[in-house]
Chains A and B, each alone.
Chain A
């Protein structure tokens, strides 16, 4: 059987076990993700990700990631990092590709290479206040996958479709989310 030799580096058994366990204990499934953001200068800021809440308690062990956000010189900025909208594309690609790997593992499909190009179309008249009828965010997002795997083209398409169906970031981008911002 191919199932026993497929290794995409995803522990599907652990994920399926977690799914079964969390059906019995839905409270443990409630996570809160967290990032901090600190202004540096101009449009440059630094974000940091460490702990999160999940499985009923704070989770902090050995986790600290930093990233920069800025804008390119075309925005009269210092170019110290990707723009926040590019970071959204990064998040979408990271989420969908993780899903492709997990679904492939579960379906017994060996992946050889997976590459995605993620593009967001953006009319910046919105954020500049130049036209009140133009929205601030993307007018559309396109993702294209190039996948080499031991599977038929239909099976590969199904991987990508299933990954979207189970993707958090895909959902965040395609459906409305209530956002509240406070000052303390």
Chain B
């Protein structure tokens, strides 16, 4: 681009999900001029990248958003778990309530440092923005390298594109990954009458309810959600940790309940060779690690609040199955529940680490005026959830306002 775009804004927020809208609300409250650019409709990923039966892992009281009154949320203790469609309605309603300046159906093609901050090139033409807040969330399915080696003709789908059992061809299903999405999809497919084989690596087990309350009520009161990113022992690990094995509701979903439903549990998918999936022999240890960690969490709750509750039944580890033919007809499809990550490919700036992830310190990148939000454990453990947008947006907008107030800001970008 040779000319400076005629459209200028102080802040371009990219992404109109709950994180970007919370930032918009804070900017509005500070009287800071901004736009929110959205590739589709508000809450795009909640409309297009979730399966039909999905409910939030987190109870209704964790849907707090800044500037959104309680009536939309229900009572604070309500253990109600919204469906993806309800989350989309909540976020769309939120955009209306706060009157966010959202430009829908505007795809951002490129963001690069420019003369007055940043040049934001979009499907609707360029913007010049002094600051950019990336709030695009985790929108890309992570596939392991060996996904490319599946036998030709074997259908596979990432959890981000999975909708319902009828989408898959008849036959058994290999579900790879046992975080929240993997265990939920495995349960749904098994209930639909298919034989599911679930490949399990490192995972995080927690009971849905403990001592008569939802687990998040305990985690909240114990202060765990407010543990800061810069005070955690190993922030890289905390950010990479897979999601809790949980399903919205009151029932526990874990490897034991899945096995009771008929799901076959095997070790981590470790390789594909001669048309067969090879599973790691480490399942017993993965289960032991998860059991120990879950019981440490429960012991910690007891120590903090007094009293005691029941410990989890140890994960039942079946006779090892180390190999499974993917060409015999037993397996009709594969579901990759192997995680999601952000897609910042449109960002043309030197802010990526060796592994291609954006470098940031609690959402503040190395480039003055460039922020990122809506990522796991961004500034606190709560950042992983919708409920994290409240405090994260307050912190980032405070940082941004301070920079605006500084007389040197125009030369800093």
- Residue B354 contacts which of A26, A164, A171, A174 (CB distance < 8 angstroms)? A26
- A157–B292 CB distance below 8 A: yes
Closest to B288 in A: A161
- A165–B267 CB distance below 8 A: no
Name the interface residues of A21-77: CB closer than 8 Å to any CB of B: 26
Residues of B within 8 A of A170 (CB): 282, 285
Task: Of the listed stretches B54-62, B270-278, B328-336, B397-405, name the one at the interface; the rest are far from the partner chain.
Answer: B270-278
Please give the distance in Å from B51's CB to the nearest CB on chain A. 30
Does A124 lie at the interface of the complex (its beta carbon under 8 Å from any beta carbon of B)? no
Does B280 lie at the interface of the complex (its beta carbon under 8 Å from any beta carbon of A)? yes
Does A127 lie at the interface of the complex (its beta carbon under 8 Å from any beta carbon of B)? no
- A174–B267 CB distance below 8 A: yes
* Chain A contact residues, CB within 8 Å of chain B: 26, 140, 154, 157-158, 161-162, 164-165, 170-171, 173-176
Residues of A within 8 A of B285 (CB): 161, 164-165, 170
Residues of A within 8 A of B271 (CB): 175-176
Please give the distance in Å from B152's CB to the nearest CB on chain A. 21
Please give the distance in Å from A144's CB to the nearest CB on chain B. 13
Closest to B278 in A: A176
- A165–B280 CB distance below 8 A: no
Residues of A within 8 A of B281 (CB): 173-175
Q: Enumerate the 9 nearest inter-chain pairs by beta-carbon distance, A residue then B residue, closest first.
A: A174-B281, A175-B270, A176-B271, A164-B285, A174-B282, A161-B288, A161-B289, A158-B292, A174-B280
- A164–B282 CB distance below 8 A: yes
Interface size on B, residues (CB 8 A): 18
Does B295 lie at the interface of the complex (its beta carbon under 8 Å from any beta carbon of A)? yes
Task: Given A174-B281, A174-B282, check contact A154 B267 (CB 8 Å).
Answer: no
Judged by DSSP, the binding face of B is mixed
Once the chains are docked, how many angstroms separate the CA of A26 from the CA of B285? 28
Q: Which of A154, A158, A176 has the most CB of B within 10 A?
A: A176
30 contacts between A and B (CB under 8 A): A26-B354, A140-B320, A154-B292, A154-B295, A154-B296, A157-B292, A158-B289, A158-B292, A158-B296, A161-B285, A161-B288, A161-B289, A162-B289, A164-B282, A164-B285, A165-B202, A165-B289, A170-B282, A171-B282, A173-B281, A174-B267, A174-B280, A174-B281, A174-B282, A175-B268, A175-B271, A175-B280, A176-B270, A176-B271, A176-B273
Please give the distance in Å from A181's CB to the nearest CB on chain B. 17
Once the chains are docked, how many angstroms separate the CA of A140 from the CA of B285? 14
Residues of B within 8 A of A140 (CB): 320
- A161–B292 CB distance below 8 A: yes
Residues of A within 8 A of B273 (CB): 176
Please give the distance in Å from A121's CB to the nearest CB on chain B. 12
Q: Hey, what's the 0/1 contact readout for B293-313 against A, CB within 8 Å counting as 1?
A: 001100000000000000000
Please give the distance in Å from A26's CB to the nearest CB on chain B. 7
Q: Which of B202, B268, B270 has the most CB of A within 10 A?
A: B270
Q: Which of A154, A162, A170, A175 has the most CB of B within 10 A?
A: A175
Residues of B within 8 A of A158 (CB): 289, 292, 296
Name the interface residues of B161-220: CB closer than 8 Å to any CB of A: 202
Residues of A within 8 A of B270 (CB): 174-176
Residues of B within 8 A of A165 (CB): 202, 285, 289
Query: What 5 new A-B contacts, CB under 8 Å, besides A170-B282, A175-B282?
Result: A154-B295, A154-B296, A157-B288, A175-B271, A176-B273
Once the chains are docked, how many angstroms separate the CA of A180 from the CA of B80? 56
Residues of A within 8 A of B268 (CB): 175
Residues of A within 8 A of B289 (CB): 158, 161-162, 165
Please give the distance in Å from B274's CB to the nearest CB on chain A. 11
Please give the distance in Å from B373's CB to the nearest CB on chain A. 25
